[in-house]
Amino acid sequence: MRTGLSQSTSLRQELKINPRLYQAMDLLYMPLLDLQQHLKQELLVNPFLEMVEPEEDEETAEQEAAEEGEEGPVDLSEPEQSTPELEAQKNDTVDWEEILQDGFAPDGPREETEEREYYEPVTVETRDLSDHLRDQVALLELNPRQLLLADEFIGNIDETGWLTCSLEEIQNSINEVVARAAEKEGFQGTLPFYTAEECEAVLRVIQGLDPSGVGARDLRECLLLQLRDQRHEDTLQYRLVHEAFDELIAHRWSELSKRFGISPADVQQAADEVAKLDPKPGLRYSSASDGYIVPDMVVEKIDGAYRVFINDANLPRLKLSRAYQEIARDKKKFDGENKEFIANKLNSANWMIQAIEQRRQTMLKVMNYIVERQRDFFEKGVRGLRPLTLREVADVIGMHESTVSRVTNEKFVQTPRGVLPLKYFFSSGLATTGGEDVSARGIRDQIEKLVANEDPKNPLTDQAIVQILQDSGVHIARRTVAKYRDQLGVLSARMRKRV
């Protein structure tokens, strides 16, 4: 085999997509609030873009359009000095329908996108569980040695309020700190290490703080701490948690009634009291912010018909800056890099306005078909939800499946049935005896209602639910019912049974 360098020629077809089209993909993917921030940033970096003020009426817009038509388009390059690159920028017309139908899927390699200035979002400081615990420790009469150990404990408590490591690990960790401090200060061998007894004592201090149950190492200890805080050590619920926790969580009422010499009903009543305790007390001080949702679209029923509207009232309305267009028309003032800069910014502004409108039209197409397909849902509720896939929507509206996926991802719609994610309307289906399909989400809703209305003393088994659904014409297997029940967080029939 001969080795070495050689040159060869070959012919091949390659499609390269403009970097702006990749930005169009991002625009289609962005939720409303992200798009709003993106457009505000575009207004800062592109002088040819400006906001349409509310007081501007349609006459002004029509007048500007007429004047622009008379003056003709802006031409920044002279014919004899034009280059293929500048000609491509001047004639940068985008076939949006073809791009959306193809799902933004070029065959060639992706070009490098132009760099953009990025503004790092600034987070607002919030107080969490650790701050709450340290504030309480600061009010206690502890010596510096105990304060150091208490801070070590607090640092190992997670957001649920549980201690995430053992006492031995805490002891080893704090003693390493003591050893390093002694070596640094030249007191090696003179500073005493923490003992297991000291760690136990400080842990009891931490477990006495608010919220009740904080510092627990497992669920059993968390419940016991809360019962002790409520002065319930002499109650049946305390004995159940302390002496028979495994049987309690397994709902073995008969076995517990024999063990404690009481009726199964009394055991179950005590278990109900235990269930009222908080298994994760630290979450009430969680720093997680509330997830406020701004719907991207609104569906309203008007004169018996459901209408779809884009919720873009707070979205900046963009238009080309007339002042900068006048400046750009004076071709004698600009040459070289200045001319190329102005051409790029002007084309980018035109493209941005087109892309926003195309995004709007695409979202309307997708949502209008969803409303048409899921009309029974808007009329009857979850039970009227029909099976729907991304491919089905894509085939009907004549676009690529990936385009529909971008439109529906992280988007919300306000409907007469509440604010829902667009993904909510997509679900697999199950066959019925009538030849129609029903949505899996609708079946889960039926199972949830069956369980909610069952006799607590004789709960429905999975097989009984299968029989009820089959009697209503739905073909479903028992393992499917069990899967849906687990997704709903519903316990098995034996665990739900009341005595």
CA–CA dist 233, 379 (Å, integer): 54
Q: Read off the pLDDT band of 325 (50, 70, 90).
A: confident
Same fold, 297-315+359-425 and 429-496: yes
Q: What is the mean pLDDT of the chain?
A: 82
Please tell me which residue, 355 or 299, carries the higher pLDDT value: 299
Q: What is the pTM of this model?
A: 0.66
pLDDT at 312: 84
Q: Quote the crossing angle between the two packed helices 19-29 and 337-373, to the nearest 10°.
A: 40
- Cα–Cα–Cα angle for 331, 337, 342, rounded to 5 degrees: 55
Per-residue pLDDT at 287 exceeds 80? no
Assign domain 429-496 one CATH number from 3.30.1370.60, 1.10.150.170, 3.60.21.10, 1.10.10.60: 1.10.10.60
pLDDT at 57: 46
pLDDT at 107: 47
Longest dimension (CA), the chain: 104
Count of C-beta atoms within a 10 Å radius of residue 155 = 13
CA–CA dist 33, 40 (Å, integer): 11
Average pLDDT in the 461-487 region? 91
Per-residue pLDDT at 247 exceeds 70? yes
pLDDT at 345: 82
Average pLDDT in the 141-166 region? 94
Output the CATH code of domain 297-315+359-425: 1.10.10
Per-residue pLDDT at 73 exceeds 50? no
Please tell me which residue, 59 or 202, carries the higher pLDDT value: 202
Most confident of 227-236, 309-318, 329-338: 227-236
**pLDDT digit string, tens, across residues 354-397:** 888 888 999 999 999 999 999 999 998 888 888 898 999 999 98
Identify which of 336, 339, 324, 337 has the alpha carbon closest to the alpha carbon of residue 76: 339
Strands 429-431 and 318-320: unpaired
Per-residue pLDDT at 289 exceeds 90? no
Domain boundaries, the chain: 19-113+318-351, 129-209, 218-285, 297-315+359-425, 429-496
Token pair 């607590």 in the structure block, residue:
456
Per-residue pLDDT at 282 exceeds 50? yes
pLDDT at 96: 59
Q: 299 has which bridge partners?
A: 308
Q: Read off the pLDDT band of 332 (50, 70, 90).
A: low
Identify which of 404, 119, 421 has the alpha carbon closest to the alpha carbon of residue 294: 421
**pLDDT digit string, tens, across residues 408-454:** 888 999 999 999 999 999 887 776 766 667 788 888 989 999 999 99
**pLDDT digit string, tens, across residues 169-187:** 999 999 998 888 877 766 6
Q: Which residues contact 489 (CB under 8 A, 6 or more apart)?
A: none
Please tell me which residue, 396 or 336, carries the higher pLDDT value: 396
Out of 314-323, 363-372, 393-402, least confident range = 314-323
Count of C-beta atoms within a 10 Å radius of residue 223 = 24
**pLDDT digit string, tens, across residues 25-67:** 777 788 888 888 888 888 888 888 888 765 554 555 555 555 5
CA–CA dist 430, 442 (Å, integer): 10
